[in-house]
Structures are given as C-alpha cells and as structure tokens.
Amino acid sequence: MIGLLSSANQSDTLIGLLWLLGVAGLILAISGSVLGYQRKIVVYDSKTDLTVTSASIISWACTGIAFGSRVEARFAVWLLLMLSVVLTINSITRSARANKTAWKATLSVFAKHTFVILIAFFGLIAVFGTFAAVEDAKKKQYKQAAADAALAAVGAAGFISLRKLISQLITKNPSINPDNQ
C-alpha cells in the first residue's frame, strides 16, 4: 500500500516539475522575444539560423515518433537522434556566437525554439481546421463546419502574425547588435 502511495506522489511530483519547467521556459521565451524585438539580443542571426532551428525541431519530433513506434530500423533512429543533436547544438552555438553572453544566448534559444514550435502549431491548426470544415460541409453539418472554419481562421491568423514577428526577429547582420559593440 505504501509503495502505491509513494509512486503516486512521485508521479504528481514529476507532473508538477514538468509544469514548473514549462512555465519557466515560457517566461524565458517571452523575455527573449521582447528583448529580440527591441534589438537587445539576437534571436535569429540569419534565415539560415531559422531554417536550422526549424529542422532541429522537426528532427526531434521525427525521432520521438520513431522511438515511440518502435521502428525496427534502429540504425535509422540513432541517425535521426544524432542529426537532432547536431542541429540543436548548431542552433545553440549560433545564439551564443551572436549574443556573446550566456544569459542572452539562453533567452535567444528559448525564444527561437518557442517561435518555431508555435508557428508549426498554428499552421497545423489552420490546415486541419480547413480539412475538418470541408469534411463537415460534405456531410451537411454546417454548424460544425462553421466552427471548424473559424478555428482554421484563428490558426491562419496566428500563423501569419508569428511569421511577421519572426521575420522582424531575423537580424541581417548580427555584428550590428547594439549591446555587442
């Protein structure tokens, strides 16, 4: 009986810790994005940095899916894992090089990865909301189709807004960062 209680407490503790880490990460991401918008830190040092960060997030997602589905090709899964690590290290190194201090680089890393995850999230909402609206319209479920179309519109608006914000956070020449001079 005591063993069951301790495992439940451990589970609650783990969930609480994950929530705490998530909130802390969100605070760091918001701080980094505000400072990046004010040009006090460099979030993306170029379009290549944005591409590398996006590729690292996609490769981590693919690695997680491959591990979760227990793919038989273990070499391919390990290769995906190594690609994910290399791309993430490249993204972190770019932030460190552009920002010169560990604190600014940390804020930059949290902001850049959060923006890539959010833009993918809103893009998926837009695409799947559109598909759901079309399917509901085919079934003549117009109220549900309208709700799904509204969801797709919210996803598209979020995607477009984030895309504009991200394009403003790309520093054309990171050596022009005012705090680095």
Band (6; pLDDT cuts 50, 70, 90): low
Q: Tokens for 117, please give them.
A: 């995850």
Lowest-pLDDT choice from 3-17, 29-43, 71-85, 102-116: 3-17
Query: DSSP string of 48-96?
Result: HHHHHHHHHHHHHHHHHHHHHTT-S-HHHHHHHHHHHHHHHHHHHHHHH
Q: What is the pLDDT of residue 108?
A: 93
What values do phi and psi take at 108, rounded to 5?
-65, -45
Report which of 127, 112, 128, 108 is spatially closest to residue 162, judged by C-alpha positions. 112
The amino acid sitting at 158 is G
Band (7; pLDDT cuts 50, 70, 90): low
Q: How far is CA 45 from CA 7, 81, 119, 175, in A?
A: 45, 25, 18, 9
Q: Note whether 151 and 127 are within 8 A (CB).
A: no
Lowest-pLDDT choice from 33-42, 75-84, 151-160, 168-177: 168-177
What does pTM read for this prediction? 0.80
Mind listing the pLDDT tens digit for each residue in 84-122?
999 999 999 999 999 989 999 999 999 999 999 999 999
Band (69; pLDDT cuts 50, 70, 90): confident
| Per-residue pLDDT at 8 exceeds 80 | no
DSSP state of 44: B
Q: Note whether 177 and 98 are within 8 A (CB).
A: yes
Question: Cα 91 from chain centroid?
Answer: 13
Q: Give the mean model confidence (pLDDT) for residues 31-52.
A: 92
